[in-house]
Amino acid sequence: MTIKDGHVGLRGSPRAQSRKSASDDAIDRAIDETIRRYFMRHEPTAQAYARVLGAAQRPPVSKRGGSTVRSWIVGLASAAAAMLLVNVALQFLGVAAAHAAPDTSGRTSLFLLWLSSTGLARWVNESETVFGYSGILFLHTLGLAVTVGASIVVDLRMLGAASRISVAALLPLFRYMWVGFAINAVSGALLFAADAPRKAANPLFEFKLALIAIGVAVMALMERQLLQAESGASLTASQPRLNRLAIASLLIWAAAIAAGRLVAYTF
Amino acid sequence: MDAFALWVKSTDLSWLVTHHAWVWATCEALHFIGMSILFGCVGALDLRMLGWWKSPPVAGVNSLVRWGALGFVINMVTGVVFFVGEPLQYIDNPAFRFKMLFLFLAGWNVLLFYVTGVADQVESLEPHDDTPFSAKVFAGTSLILWVGVIFFGRMLPYLGNSF
């Protein structure tokens, strides 16, 4: 087999085109390196090719072999640390918010005033029935439980719990997550409208929205990775990435919940 | 009952909870995180048994229930903190009583699910297997009861005067 044959054969195969995994990259790099050595140092083709390709195809040393317990401990410890950090940060933010309040209350934007004066917003605010503020708040809580709950199930599985569930079997859960998120986007918008100027002046509220945006992005990334894994690519390549995403997801949702709860207490 | 609530209110622990703002706020955050863990893990098993998430084997989803128990413990501890802090605003609150009733029923539902052998019956079911009707009843009851717990928990400030 010539170098050219090997190069064309691997690059051009439908398998290499359909999925671009880390090992394919390594093989490509090995071929390039072989060509470089051949032309620059005049090493015998066959020897150089065999050595470089052999090194590339050796199964990667698993750094995580048998250490699910360790990743658990790391995950739980960082979750606890993040909770503490977020609480400390929010304490400071809360103090900053209290100082900023007199300034912002004087120059609330007209849009926010208009928003909170609309019929819908006033109905949300003033309705004494369960369909008003309290019921919408319940829907917001239920949507939270569904989205974050399903997210936690996926995260726990990715970090090694319930290993009898195949990774591809997790995909239907993302539908529930998106439904929960849709409920919360709508109910959250209604709750915001009912109290727009005050909520908008609270820096914690912006912080919470930013965390939710990141949390949803992580959720979408995980779904994409799992879809790729399901469509045939080996999971071992994306496993470290999924692990990191799972830990990030747990931390971000915990922080978003903490921020959301504190919004109710700081103003 | 009021004597009990007054006694709880008079304890040092109650003073500690109400005189440090961070205790209440942190416990609130933990209470919601615990809720998500509990509802996610128990709800996952409910969905599997109801046939709304059929792709995993039942045994795999069942092994998540221990994590749901972790969420329950978090919420029981933080819930006790709230009660100890402000017992008077809970003890006569109708929403609180309904929440406790629903919690009690949900507990019975879990107990019956494992004691009656339905749990063992479904344990061996593979992906996409249908569950027996009894399992669906337990799952549906569980889902309704936990949503009820969340509902009455959320209604604490609105049906009563708790915060």
Asked if A253 lies within 8 A of B21 by C-beta distance, the reply is no
Q: How confident is the model at residue A6 (pLDDT cuts 50, 70, 90)?
A: very low
What distance in Å separates the CA atoms of residue B147 and residue B35, rounded to the nearest whole number?
11
Residue B9, Cβ density class (10 Å: 0-12 exposed, 13-18 middle, ≥19 buried): middle
- Report chain B residues whose CB lies below 8 A from the CB of A163: 60
Give me B141's structure tokens. 């009851």
Q: In the block, which residue shows the tokens 């747990």?
A: A250
Q: What's the pLDDT score for residue B67? A: 96
Q: Where are the domains of chain A?
A: 3-57, 68-266
Q: For the beta carbon of residue A150, count every other beta carbon within 10 angstroms.
A: 29
pLDDT digits (tens, 9 = 90+) for A87-96: 666 555 555 5
Q: Could you tell me where the DSSP H helices lie in chain B?
A: 2-10, 12-19, 21-50, 58-62, 65-85, 87-91, 94-115, 118-123, 133-154, 156-159
Percent of chain B with pLDDT over 70: 99
pLDDT of residue B161: 74
pLDDT value of position B54: 94
Give me the interface pTM, i.e. the ipTM: 0.94
Q: Which of A77-91, B56-70, B98-112 has the lowest mean pLDDT?
A: A77-91
Enter the tokens of residue B78.
């933080």
Separation between Cα atoms, residue A42 and residue A40, nearest integer Å: 6
> What six digits make up the tokens of A152?
């936690």
Give the highest mean pLDDT range of A30-39, A104-113, B78-87: B78-87
Bigger pLDDT: B8 vs A46 = B8
Region A98-127: mean pLDDT is 71
Of all residues in chain A, the percent with pLDDT exceeding 70 is: 61
Q: Which residue has the higher pLDDT, B36 or A98?
A: B36
Cα Rg for chain B, rounded, in angstroms?
Answer: 18
- State how far the Cα of B104 lies from the Cα of B141, in Å rounded to an integer: 13
The residue among B26 and A229 whose pLDDT is bigger is B26
Contact B41, B11 (CB under 8 A): no
Q: What tokens does A11 get? A: 């690059």
Chain B residues in contact with A265 (beta carbon < 8 A): 21, 24-25, 28
Cβ–Cβ gap B147/A142 under 8 Å: yes
Q: What is the pLDDT of residue A13?
A: 45
> Phi, psi (5° rounding) for residue A76?
-65, -40
Q: Above 60 in pLDDT, residue B125? A: yes
The answer to whether the beta carbons of residues A3 and A44 sit under 8 Å apart is no
Counting one residue from A and one from B, how many pairs have CB atoms under 8 Å apart? 120
- Which chain B residues touch A if contact means CB-CB below 8 Å? 21-22, 24-26, 28-30, 32-33, 35-41, 43-44, 47, 53, 55-57, 59-61, 63-64, 67, 127, 147, 150-151, 153-155, 157-158
Cα distance between residue B108 and residue A222, in whole Å? 36
The tens digit of pLDDT for each residue in A190-211 reads 999 988 888 888 888 989 999 9
- How many Å apart are CA B29 and CA B22, to the nearest integer? 10
CA dihedral B54, B59, B65, B67 (to 10 degrees): -100
The residues in A 57-96 lying below 8 A from B, measured between CB atoms, are 83, 87, 91
User: Mean per-residue pLDDT for A148-157?
Assistant: 97
Nearest to B22 among A91, A153, A166 (CB): A91
A193 neighbors A112 (Cβ within 8 angstroms): no
Higher pLDDT, A130 or A226: A226
> Tell me, what's the pLDDT at B159?
84
What is the reported pTM?
A: 0.75
- Measured distance between the N- and C-terminal CA atoms of chain A, rounded to whole angstroms: 74
Does the pLDDT at position A217 exceed 90?
Answer: yes
d(Cα A77, Cα A72) in Å, to the nearest integer? 8
Nearest CB partner across the interface for A161, out of B24, B56, B64: B64
Q: Which of A50-54, A147-151, B157-161 is most confident?
A: A147-151
- Residue of chain A with shortest Cα separation from B63: A162
Among A10-14, A49-53, B120-124, which is the least confidently predicted range? A10-14
Give the residue from chain B lying closest to A149, CA to CA: B40
Q: Is the pLDDT of residue B80 over 50?
A: yes
Q: Write A58-62 long-range contacts (CB < 8 A, 24+).
A: A60/A22, A60/A23
A11 pLDDT above the threshold of 50:
no
Interchain CB distance below 8 Å, B158 and A176: no
Residue of B nearest to A87 (CA): B26
Which of A146, A162, A260 is opposite residue B61, by nearest beta carbon? A162
Pairwise CA distance, residues A118 & A210, whole Å: 26
* Confidence (pLDDT) at A15: 45
Check B155 against A134: CB less than 8 A apart.
yes
CA distance A224 to chain B (A): 18
